[in-house]
Amino acid sequence: MPNKVFFNFLFLLIFRHRSKHIAIFIISTLVVILFSSVMLLSHAIEQDAQASLSAQPDFIIQKMHAGRAVETPVEWLDELSEIEGVSSALPRVYGSYFYTPNAEYFTLVGIDLFDRQISESLERLVKDLDVKDFLAQPSMIIGSGVKTHLDKFYYKEHYTFRTPAREKREVSIYDSLLSETNIVSSDMILMEESLARDILGVDEELSTDLVLYVPNELEHDNVKEKIILLFNNIRVIEKEELSTAYAQMFNYKGGLFLLLYMVVLMTFILILYQRYSMISSSDKKEIGILRALGWSVNMVIRLKIMESLIVGLSAFVLGILLAYGYVFYLDAPLLSEIFLGNANLSNKITFNHSVDFGLLTLLFLFFMAPYISAVLIPVWRIAITDPLEAMK
Amino acid sequence: MIKIEHLNKIFNENRSNAYVALKDINLHIKPAQTVVIKGVSGSGKSTLLSIIATLIKPSSGSLMVDEQMIAKLPDTHASHFRNVHIGFIFQAFNLFDELSVKDNVAMPLIVSENRQERIDKKVLEAMELANITHKKDQSVHNLSGGEKQRCAIARALVHNPHIILCDEPTANLDRENSLKFIEILKSFKALGKTVVIATHDPLFDNLESVDRTILIEDGKIR
């Protein structure tokens, strides 16, 4: 059936009913923006979190005192490294550092660059890392959020930290972390371990926590049991737990938005149904003429559905494009703060562009299926209008 | 041949507001005949036209066109029948004002023709028959009443139907254009079309081109 005259007529219909379509187009676009922003953002966060977590150790061990984590003795490493399956056990030194110019907290992390695993992990996070060059002078690698804050006060080459004893430590800025690791690393500063101890005031025999690398995943449960048996008052965090915690946090927030979306979608369907149910005399006349000229009810329904589909699809495409721009070019202001509210820094996070077809299909189905159902019934009611009455 | 036997039409049947529009109509119209159905407003003549056009179904009785029972055809078949056999000319023209003349004329072909060249050819032929070719690209809302009528005639002829139904065709025309329409009626006859006109316009009285005049009163043929 579709030919040039049909499409001329179809676009004429859309133009004739423009006030109805414009209202529906605007509401539809807003609904798509809301839903797709949440979906795109949560997908981007998941990708980002996975990229960051891949460099994490398999176990983190913290000493607990009165229910809170305290500094962990480095001497525990001797016993931990003897556990079967542990390829390496290392102390970690990190903590929050208050950045006075902007009244923000940075996460300062000490690293042992002579450790092969750490230097390998770091190579994944920093492009063209030259360890010798890095260690030649007190240096640091900074996350993108830290870089933004330092740049603001023209700390382009170096920054002077203060130790708890108020002594100055000038540290040069070596490089910044790759943007794939934005979520975890935006507020992070990586520096040589002894320098971090100095700035954070952590003694040589203590560490913030201890980390273990256990390459065989099947051994993880055994190793965890053995760690717990070795010491009292400890907390053992597995890499999978971190990953699950991240996923749960974002899924939980995504779920809340999904719930909100469902409410919005229901309202939208009601509006849509109500708008399309209003059959004007010109609508009736239009259908009456078509029926008199030999159009069947099915053809009229097809025409009306195509009319609604063009409006719905345009709104869907525009909504997706705007949501894409909002998430990946504007970095999802407001929404990203709701999703990532736990960071020390009010991070300026740049999400890496990532959309998969599965996600787009899901977005399409979540929008178009209710849209078409809401349109179908009123359209059918119009199509079966008595043509004789309609044309009077 | 249109053959109507014992046809009745009751609107809102089995309800308190039931209304009998046609009562026991019996009518035979031979091919290429021009028949005028006369009657006052509300007498049932438009209802009879709509039943012949399969736009509405009779409550009882039979309606045959060319030996085909069409009274109770399902919607898809009735629409197809209408699209192939019936050309309709309405009192208010019922054109799409925003479309051009040629697009309006092409409307019945949307459902039956796939090839644009064939559509263009048929539209041109119909516009020539109705003498409206010179206005083919103009929007209908820029046309005079007479031109709109000719556009509606071209649309009724474009799919080459053998039955033309006219519902009060001159009600919205001045005398000059009404006389032109009567002239066009002669060309319908020359083309071998069966024409049924529902009207109460006295201009159609005693016309040479009209084969039969039927009077309908309160839903009954007198």
Q: Tell me the three-class secondary structure of A106-164, residue by residue.
A: EEEEEECCCCHHHHHHHHHHCCCCCHHHHHCCCEEEECHHHHHHHHHCCCCCEEEEECC
Query: A21 and A107: one domain?
Result: no
Residue that is written with structure tokens 């992390």 in the block = A109
State residue B22's pLDDT score: 94
Task: Tell me how far the alpha carbon of residue B80 is from its chain's centroid.
Answer: 16
Q: Cβ of A15 and B98 within 8 Å?
A: yes
A390 vs B contacts (CB less than 8 Å)? none
SS3 assignment for chain A = CCCHHHHHHHHHHHHHCHHHHHHHHHHHHHHHHHHHHHHHHHHHHHHHHHHHHCCCCCEEEEEEECCEEECEECCHHHHHHCCCCCCEEEEEEEEEEEEHHHCEEEEEEEECCCCHHHHHHHHHHCCCCCHHHHHCCCEEEECHHHHHHHHHCCCCCEEEEECCCCCEEEEEEEEECCHHHHHHHCCEEEEEHHHHHHHHCCCCCEECEEEEECCCHHHHHHHHHHHHHHCCCEEEEEHHHHHHHHHHHHHHHHHHHHHHHHHHHHHHHHHHHHHHHCCCHHHHHHHHHHHHCCCCHHHHHHHHHHHHHHHHHHHHHHHHHHHHHHHHHCCCCCHHHHHCCCCCCCCCCCCCCCCCHHHHHHHHHHHHHHHHHHHHHHHHHHHCCCHHHHHC
Is A231 domain-assigned? Answer: no
pLDDT digit string, tens, across residues A198-248:
999 999 899 999 989 898 988 888 999 999 998 888 999 988 887 777 777
Q: Please check whether residue A234 lies inside any domain of the structure.
A: no
Average pLDDT over residues B112-122: 87
Residues A306 and A387 in one domain: yes
Locate tokens 């605007």: which residue?
A: A26
Amino acid letter, residue A54: S
Between B94 and A374, the higher pLDDT residue: B94
List pLDDT tens digits, range A169-208.
999 998 887 665 555 567 888 899 889 999 999 998 999 9
pLDDT digits (tens, 9 = 90+) for A263-280: 777 777 777 777 666 667
| Mean pLDDT of the region A135-154 | 87
Residue A111 lies in a domain: yes
Share of chain A above pLDDT 70, in %: 86
Cα(B53)–Cα(B47) distance, integer angstroms: 10
Give A345's pLDDT tier (boundaries 50, 70, 90): very low
> Which among A6, A288, A387 has the least Cβ separation from residue B110?
A6
Q: Which two tokens stand for residue A333?
A: 């202001």
Which pLDDT belongs to residue A340?
66
CB contact under 8 A, A294 and B79: yes
Is A236 within the bounds of a domain?
no
Q: Which of A213, A232, A254 is the last residue of a domain?
A: A213
Tell me: do A168 and A254 sit in the same domain. Answer: no
**pTM of the complete model:** 0.66
Q: Are residues A26 and A95 in the same domain?
A: no
Q: Is A338 or B95 the better-scoring residue by pLDDT?
A: B95
Shared-domain flag, residues A110 and A202:
yes
Q: Using N-to-C axis directions, what is the helix angle for A357-383 and A281-292, rounded to 10°?
A: 80
The span from the first CA to the last CA of chain B, in angstroms, equals 21
**Neighbouring residues of A244: CB distance < 8 A, sequence distance ≥ 6:** none
User: How does residue A344 score in pLDDT terms, banded at 50, 70 and 90?
Assistant: very low
Query: Which residues in chain B have Cβ-Cβ distances shorter than 8 Å to A10?
Result: none
Q: Which of B13, B79, B157 to mutate to test the interface with A (most CBs of A within 10 A)?
A: B79
A41 within some domain: yes
Q: How far is CA A340 from the centre of its chain?
A: 8
- Distance from A300 to chain B by nearest Cα, in Å? 11
Domain end call among A213, A236, A265: A213
Residues paired with residue B213 on neighbouring β-strands, in sequence order: B36
The answer to the question of residue A291 being in a domain is: yes
Q: Are B140 and B100 in contact (CB under 8 A)?
A: yes
Both A111 and A31 in a single domain? Answer: no
Residue with tokens 């449960």: A221
Query: What does DSSP assign to residue B203?
Result: G
B171 in contact with chain A, both atoms CB, cutoff 8 A: no
Do both A14 and A68 map to the same domain?
A: no
Q: What is the mean pLDDT of chain A?
A: 82
First to last CA, chain A: 28
Domain count, chain A: 2
pLDDT for A117 equals 64
- Look-up: residue for tokens 């109805």? A20
Which residues of chain B does A297 touch, with a Cβ-Cβ cutoff of 8 Å? Answer: 75-76, 79
Q: What is the DSSP string of B3-26?
A: EEEEEEEEETTTSTT-EEEEEEEE
> Same domain, yes or no, for A33 and A129?
no
The answer to whether the beta carbons of residues A210 and A204 sit under 8 Å apart is no
SS3 B64: strand
Q: Read out DSSP for B91-157? A: TT----TTSBHHHHHHGGGGTT---HHHHHHHHHHHHHHTT-GGGTTSBGGGS-HHHHHHHHHHHHH
Judge if A39 and A72 occupy the same domain.
no
Contact B94, A285 (CB under 8 A): yes
ipTM, two decimals: 0.88
Lowest-pLDDT choice from A131-140, A336-345, B26-35: A336-345
Q: Which of B79, B27, B32 is nearest to B53 (CA)?
A: B79
**Cross-chain residue pair A8–B103, CB shorter than 8 Å:** yes
Tell me the residue range of the domain where A280 lies.
Answer: 4-51+245-391
Q: Does B156 touch chain A (CB under 8 A)?
A: no
Four-residue CA torsion sign, A302, A307, A310, A316: negative
- CA B135 to CA B100: how far, in whole Å? 9
**Cα–Cα distance measured from residue A20 to residue A137, given in angstroms and rounded to the nearest whole number:** 68
Task: Work out the average pLDDT over A102-108.
Answer: 84
Do residues A343 and A187 touch, judged by C-beta distance below 8 A? Answer: yes
Backbone angles phi, psi at A168, to 5 degrees: -85, 140
For residue A229, being part of any structural domain is answered with no
Distance between A385 CA and the closest CA of chain B, angstroms: 11
Most confident of A49-63, A114-128, A345-359: A49-63
Question: Which of B79, B42, B208 has the alpha carbon at shortest distance from A301?
Answer: B79
> Given a cut of 60, is residue A1 above it in pLDDT?
no
Identify the three-state secondary structure at position B207: coil
Do A156 and A99 share a domain, yes or no?
yes
Mark yes or no for CB contact B79/A295 under 8 Å: yes
* Residue A333 CB burial class (10 angstroms; 0-12, 13-18, ≥19): exposed
Which range scores top for mean pLDDT: A90-94, A105-109, A364-368, B164-168?
Answer: B164-168
Interface A-B, measured as beta-carbon pairs within 8 A, has a size of: 91
pLDDT of A282-331, one tens digit each?
777 888 888 888 888 888 888 888 888 898 899 999 999 999 999 888 87
Quickly state the pLDDT bin for A377 (edges 50, 70, 90): confident
% residues pLDDT > 90 (chain A):
18
Give the pLDDT confidence score for residue A111 in this predicted structure: 82
Residue contact A1–B110, C-beta within 8 A: yes
> Which domains does chain B possess?
2-221 (3.40.50.300)
Asked which of A213, A234, A263 is the last residue of a domain, the reply is: A213
* pLDDT tens by residue, B73-101: 888 899 999 999 999 998 888 999 888 99
Pair A74, A158 in one domain: yes
What is the average per-residue pLDDT within A37-52? Answer: 78
Q: How far is CA A380 from the centre of its chain?
A: 42
User: Residues B42-57: what's their mean pLDDT?
Assistant: 90
- Would an 8 Å CB–CB cutoff place B103 in contact with chain A? yes
Q: Please, is A330 exposed, middle or buried when counting C-beta atoms within 10 Å of its C-beta (0-12, 13-18, 19+)?
A: exposed
Distance from C-alpha of B212 to C-alpha of B36, rounded to nearest angstrom:
6
Same domain, A327 and A285: yes
Give B161-185 pLDDT, tens digit per residue. 999 999 989 888 888 888 888 888 8
- Chain A CB within 8 Å of residue B204 CB: no
pLDDT at A346 > cutoff 70: no
State the average pLDDT over residues B40-48: 89
For B174, the 3-state DSSP assignment is: coil
- Is A232 a member of any domain? no
